[in-house]
Structure 1
Amino acid sequence: MTKTYLDFASGAPLHPAAREVLIAAYEHGYADPRRLHGPARNARLLLDNAREACAEALGVRADEVTFTASGTHAVHAGLLGLAAGRRRVSKRLVHSAVEHSAVLHAARWHADRGGEVVEVPVDATGRVDPAAVVAAAAPGAAVVALQSANHEVGTRQPVGEVAAALAAYDVPLFVDACASAGRSPLPSGWAVAAASAHKWGGPAGVGLLLVRRGARWRPPFPVDERADERGIGFENVPGALAAAAALQAVAADRDAAARQHALVARLRDGVRASVPDVDVVGAEHDRLPHLVTFSCLYVDGEALVTELDRRGYAVASGSACTASSLEPSHVLAAMGALTHGNVRVSVGRDTTDADVDGLLAVLPEVVTDLRRRAGIP
């Protein structure tokens, strides 16, 4: 059966622009860019080009961009590096209750080493109150972590407003932009940010660590004997170049956000209209354009995803960061939303109206059948 892929929030298929560049880069970018011979200088040129292209697409300086082994590593290094740079000022790390598990694990690592961690609650849409963030951080927190938008429900956070308020207390802001980078401009006011290439159609295993010039960032882990202290190990030069090519192509598609926003709006309305006892979560309008999450009462999420997959639709369920074990989502729990029977649908550059209509046609049948099996009339 032909699968309709609707899990772009977890990872997008390799963009055609990235595929072409990746093949060529493997032929010319294999050498260590820190060496002095000819092949190494070629690799260095490719790496510098990738850095320049990513910087231009994201609106940052090229010397603020470091390629990492993953978005998760960029989050860990970025957040803990800011905490390390501020350790003489404070040991308090503040984050929202709906951050990705990469942030939560970094916060736990920080706490295990004597740090203090404060979690800020969110409202029913998954959005923080800027005043609550500032109250938790001021005076004198080491760092605040606030995602640009949520990986599971798409709600955008008031990053610019929070950053402006924190500036009065000289508290730096770390932003996890993995869910939004490439789809929308980076928010303002951050000191360090992280992004992940596979979210926008670049190859998996390439992350971006963005450190603003002047930010008090220090290496939180053992360093490497390389020119850029923010990076560890031999850079994936072909991967970086392919990530940059995909990012440029996605950023140049001016109409993508509007197309995807319309498809998701159609999904939100269709699910509400056709499935009884369903909770469609997240902000209605101020959200990422490409994803929607809903939960169906009296239905097991794993069974729902499995049955939809049997009918040709690949969707996600559970927490965005622990979906392999299908644990209840800490994001939905923090929002006070239904955590079981959860489905996350995300559209991409090739998703069509027919794909959405097809899912809406089979979803009520699947939910009804699963409820019948569970003895629910």
Structure 2
Amino acid sequence: MTTPPDDQRRPLDAASSEPLHPRAREVLLAALDAGWADPRRLHHEGRRARLLLENAREAVAEQVGARPDEVTFTSSGTDAVHRGLLGLHAGRSRVGRTVVVSAVEHSSVLHAARWTGAPVAEVPVTPTGEVLPSAVARTLADAAEPVAVVAVQSANHEVGTLHDVATINEVAGDVPLFVDACASTGRVPLPSGWSAAAASAHKWGGPAGVGILLVRKGARWRAPFPADDRADERAVGFENVPAVLAAAAALQAVAADADAVARRQHALVDRIRREVAQLPDVEVVGEAERRLPHLVTFSALYLDGEALVTELDRLGFGVASGSACTSSTLTPSHVLAAMGALTHGNVRLALQHGTTEGDVDAFLAALPGVLSSLRGRIGL
């Protein structure tokens, strides 16, 4: 399949990954020379690497509203999710076993919950994908066994709907709350109420392979995997200090203009939602206002998501379809199914920090022709 050259393409899949932020690139290159040593060693090079690591920890803590000693760097967002959720579950093993998750959690959360072998109770969502505190309260009350942990994302990774995490924490009472904040960190502030949380650097323009695990001071968290002889009990192995420092620099950079970017992207997505909804047999899904500023998903009746992605890619638009991390297996979206929305023919756009109004103009101009052409091929 022939596609436009890179300089003519319009990538619209920031929910998967942002390009490396210029500030991250600058810091990464400098840190490759200064931060290569093992930060646990006592020699000069090790102490220098340790200083860089602690600087990164402090920078991230400041941006997410945590203490530096609550921040751990992991090998990925998925690793942070697993350690956060499973660590809280292990820490509550004497109290309860049941894991409560919302029906629209990321697959990494759902896999971790099932991996425990404990009962898993799902919280239903509204047609816009919102996890209501009242629904969490009912699920907790109906649980057949004592609950160890509740998992609710800060914002949905496929449709962008924001959740009232602070109120959900209130109804959860003494049950700890794990928050997957991978989709929202760097876009909107981390909500309060978490006992543990996770984020992923490549989603805000940091290097891939850096996850952030937050564990609140005083939370009952216990290492769910074999221990390592490191200073941070929540981490294993040798941190990639240059990548960690670059991730922190990128987070600082995007946070500095997050409000302005959010306003601009919210307006662009409002326009996309409005114009796409006017097309025949197309349904825009998710919350219209209480949502991530950069993300929108819609479904086209009678069409296949893979065909839509392929045709749009041929025209230079990089978009996603299906469940956010399972589209390569053509698995229908469990998020859309939980919302009662169409699970086929869906397209997810996630604007990058550099996406322009011209990019949106071009996409909206191309989409009607793509829909018409694909429907024509199947005789509609």
TM-score, normalized by the shorter chain, greater than 0.5: yes
Aligned partner of 2:31 in structure 1 is: 25
Aligned partner of 1:50 in structure 2 is: 56
**2 CA distance for matches of 1:151 and 1:326?**
17
Matches within 5 A, 1:98-247: 98-111=104-117, 115-138=118-141, 140-167=146-173, 170-247=174-251
The number of aligned residues is 370
SS of equivalent to 2:122:
strand
SS of equivalent to 1:7:
coil
Aligned partner of 2:272 in structure 1 is: 267
**2 CA distance for matches of 1:251 and 1:128?**
26
Does residue 8 (structure 1) correspond to residue 11 (structure 2)? The answer is no
TM-score, normalised to structure 2's length?
A: 0.96
Cα contact 2:132–2:163 (8 A) shared by 1: no
Cα contact 1:121–1:334 (8 A) shared by 2: yes
Aligned partner of 1:59 in structure 2 is: 65
What code does the residue aligned with 2:62 have?
Answer: E
Cα contact 1:137–1:171 (8 A) shared by 2: no
SS of equivalent to 1:155:
coil
Does residue 361 (structure 1) correspond to residue 365 (structure 2)? The answer is yes
**2 CA distance for matches of 1:276 and 1:89?**
53
SS of equivalent to 1:66:
strand
SS of equivalent to 2:59:
helix
SS of equivalent to 2:125:
coil
**2 CA distance for matches of 1:38 and 1:227?**
18
- TM-superposition CA deviations, 1:189-217 (whole Å, max 9, x none): 11000000011000000000000000000
Aligned partner of 2:256 in structure 1 is: 252
**1 CA distance for matches of 2:329 and 2:366?**
25
SS of equivalent to 2:213:
strand
SS of equivalent to 1:324:
helix
SS of equivalent to 2:329:
coil
**2 CA distance for matches of 1:131 and 1:307?**
42
Cα contact 1:305–1:316 (8 A) shared by 2: yes
**1 CA distance for matches of 2:138 and 2:340?**
22
**2 CA distance for matches of 1:7 and 1:56?**
28
Aligned partner of 1:96 in structure 2 is: 102
Instruction: Provide the alpha-carbon RMSD of the alignment.
Output: 0.9
SS of equivalent to 1:302:
helix
**Cα distance, 1:136 vs structure 2:** 2.0
**2 CA distance for matches of 1:130 and 1:204?**
33
**2 CA distance for matches of 1:226 and 1:324?**
36
**2 CA distance for matches of 1:212 and 1:292?**
32
**Cα distance, 1:137 vs structure 2:** 2.3
- TM-superposition CA deviations, 1:75-114 (whole Å, max 9, x none): 0000000000000000011000000000010011012xxx
SS of equivalent to 2:237:
coil
TM-score, normalised to structure 1's length?
A: 0.97
**Cα distance, 1:46 vs structure 2:** 0.5
Does residue 290 (structure 1) correspond to residue 294 (structure 2)? The answer is yes
SS of equivalent to 2:184:
coil
